[in-house]
């Protein structure tokens, strides 16, 4: 008789998973399942579904090779219960088990669903992060502002990464000021390592094509790593060929280069194929060996042990209602062009088309193009949140929601960001070559040819002046608005309103 069921989710594909560590290989049974509920609670990008299902199948095979009894349910199995709790109940009935060991999921939705099961549940903490939730909550307790920079410094001290005794390597904690170079003329990197689908992946692609062929985004060509060995090769490829220039151009955007010097390993980190400390130590070693400069390595490591850990702490600290917060009371519907890319705004068209085809866009495209527009236009932040959760291969709610609700849309009222991340077209023009081939004119401030970002920027600031005019970081901007000629202000606001009405 089986003692316990051991749940392994599709984003928990790690040998050292706490649920596996707590289990007994000789008596316990591992349960893994491709279920409709997880594939459809939002209409995920088909590449994301295929990536997770393929990686799950390969990880299940690896566990079997290691001696585990794995009960794996494929999506098209006729007895598939359709949900994770349903599959656990079905396997409990089959085996006689009455207890489940699980590692804490990364979404409140699934945590609550597991806790409602009529089975004894032992929920183990997810130990695949540098910081525990208890450590984050202790750090956050009593602070007036939860700024990532100070949490990041504690993570540097804890890990010893890029530390010179008690001091940061090079004398500074943060080299971001060196990492804001605009788009270069060309990129001397062919992009992230791509993998030809093997038999397992091809079977999954056929399944996803049949079941989710009408979803937003292209399924083929598919080139993601789907096992630990491939993910490690992708990491090594980035460290060798891209990391040295990553820092300089990490904020740049280009019409004809979708990846620049970015690693694109976040999907592998987020499903467990790579360990965050493994990744950071590889980058640190590149610095110590003289292969990559400090600004690049520090910026890369900060994204992992700083930002990634920080947003997870925020998500679980703030609770299940976090994705529905709307501090600015934005209610406009998400424009249709977020699904089609059919807009004359070249920056948005490029970012959305890329997202549809690759299930990927880098952080500045997400924050300062698609996110910036949504915030300026007053789009309902929950709709923006669901769009990001649907369209990106690396989007899981614990990491996606704080980035969108907090950082991008300021819907959490400043828990994450000290000011809204809004900009006119000038920022996009400075950091990209998008504006050169746009129908709109980035230097035009009013009129039918004016860049919509210019109009919406000032309209946003005017609409929310009571809230933000006293923000110290925005005082100069508001002083400029206040000095502007009243007729010009009125024209800007009228043009912005006309543009927004046109979205409907």
**Rounded CA gap, 187 and 181, in Å?**
13
DSSP 77: -
pLDDT at residue 3 in the model: 85
Longest Cα pair distance anywhere in the chain, in angstroms? Answer: 81
Task: State pLDDT tens for residues 68-124.
Answer: 999 999 999 999 999 999 999 999 999 999 999 999 999 999 999 999 999 999 999
What's residue 185's pLDDT? 86
In a domain, 326, yes or no: no
Does 224 have pLDDT greater than 90? yes
**pLDDT at residue 316 above 70?**
yes
Q: What mean pLDDT is predicted for residues 370-386?
A: 98
Q: What's the CA gap between 5 and 12, in Å, rounded?
A: 15
pLDDT-derived band at 254, boundaries 50, 70, 90: very high
Q: With cut-offs at 50, 70 and 90, classify the pLDDT of residue 207.
A: very high
What's this model's pTM, rounded to 2 decimal places? Answer: 0.96
Shared-domain flag, residues 368 and 297: no
**DSSP type of residue 105:** P
Q: CATH number of the domain that 410 lies in?
A: 1.10.579.10
106 and 153 together in one domain: no
Residue 225 lies in a domain: no
Domain boundaries, position 146: 133-191+242-318
Based on its alpha-carbon atoms, the radius of gyration of the chain, rounded to whole angstroms, reads 23
Residues in Cβ contact with 156 at an 8 Å cutoff, skipping those fewer than 6 apart = 162, 163, 168, 173, 305
230 in any annotated domain: no
**Count of domains for the chain:** 3
483 shares a domain with 377: yes
257 neighbors 304 (Cβ within 8 angstroms): no
Looking at the structure, tell me whether residues 50 and 180 fall in a common domain. Answer: no
271 and 361 housed in the same domain: no
Q: Does 216 map to a domain?
A: no
Give CA separation, 295 vs 177, 247, 301, 425, in Å: 9, 6, 10, 27
> Residues 137-156: pLDDT tens digits?
999 999 999 999 999 999 99
Q: What is the pLDDT of residue 72?
A: 98
Instruction: Round to whole Å and give the CA distance between 428 and 401.
Output: 24
Span 352-375, pLDDT tens digits: 999 999 999 999 999 999 999 999
Domain co-membership, 145 together with 113: no
CATH of the domain at 73: 3.40.50.620
- The C-alpha angle 114, 72, 3, rounded to 5 degrees, equals 60
User: What's the rounded Cα separation, in Å, for the pair 266 and 358?
Assistant: 14
Specify the DSSP class assigned to residue 102: E
């Amino acid at each position: 008789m089986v003692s316990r069921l051991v749940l392994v989710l599709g984003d928990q594909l790690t040998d050292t998973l706490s649920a596996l560590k707590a289990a007994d290989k000789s008596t316990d049974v591992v349960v893994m399942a491709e279920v409709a509920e997880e594939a459809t609670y939002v209409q995920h990008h088909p590449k994301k579904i295929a990536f997770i299902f393929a990686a799950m199948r390969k990880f299940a095979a690896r566990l079997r090779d290691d001696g585990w009894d794995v009960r794996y349910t494929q999506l098209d199995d006729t007895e598939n219960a359709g949900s994770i709790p349903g599959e656990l109940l079905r396997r409990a009935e089959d085996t006689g088990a009455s207890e489940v060991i699980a590692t804490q999921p990364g979404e409140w939705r699934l945590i609550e669903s597991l806790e409602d099961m009529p089975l004894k549940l032992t929920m183990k903490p997810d130990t695949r992060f540098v910081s525990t939730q208890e450590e984050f909550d202790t750090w956050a307790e009593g602070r007036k502002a939860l700024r990532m920079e100070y949490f990041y410094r504690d993570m540097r001290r804890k890990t010893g990464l890029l530390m010179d005794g008690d001091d940061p390597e090079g004398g500074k904690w943060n080299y971001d000021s060196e990492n804001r170079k605009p788009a270069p003329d060309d990129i001397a990197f062919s992009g992230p390592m791509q993998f030809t689908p093997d038999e397992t992946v091809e079977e999954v692609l056929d399944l996803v094509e049949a079941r989710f062929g009408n979803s937003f985004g292209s399924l083929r060509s598919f080139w993601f790593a789907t096992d630990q060995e491939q993910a490690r090769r992708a990491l090594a490829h980035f460290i060798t060929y891209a990391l040295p220039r990553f820092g300089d151009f990490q904020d740049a955007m280009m019409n004809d280069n979708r990846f620049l010097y970015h690693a694109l390993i976040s999907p592998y980190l987020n499903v467990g194929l790579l360990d965050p400390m493994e990744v950071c130590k590889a980058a640190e070693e590149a610095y110590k060996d003289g292969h990559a400069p400090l600004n690049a390595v520090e910026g890369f490591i900060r994204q992992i042990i700083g930002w990634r850990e920080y947003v997870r702490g925020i998500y679980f600290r703030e609770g299940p209602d976090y994705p529905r917060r709307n501090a600015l009371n934005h209610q406009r519907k998400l424009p249709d062009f977020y699904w089609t890319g059919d807009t004359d705004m070249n920056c948005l068209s490029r970012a959305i088309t890329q997202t549809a085809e690759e299930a990927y866009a880098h952080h500045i495209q997400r924050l300062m193009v698609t996110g910036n527009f949504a915030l300026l236009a007053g789009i309902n932040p929950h709709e923006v949140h669901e769009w990001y959760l649907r369209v990106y291969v690396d989007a899981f709610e614990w990491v996606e929601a704080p980035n969108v609700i907090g950082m991008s849309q300021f819907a959490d009222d400043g828990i994450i960001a000290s000011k809204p991340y809004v900009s006119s077209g000038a920022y996009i023009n400075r950091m990209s070559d998008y504006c050169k081939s746009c129908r709109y004119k980035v230097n035009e401030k009013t009129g039918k040819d004016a860049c919509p970002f210019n109009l919406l920027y000032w309209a946003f600031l005017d609409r929310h002046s009571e809230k933000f005019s006293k923000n110290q970081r925005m005082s100069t901007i508001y002083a400029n608005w206040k000095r502007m000629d009243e007729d010009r202000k009125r024209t800007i606001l009228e043009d912005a309103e006309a543009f927004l009405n046109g979205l409907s």
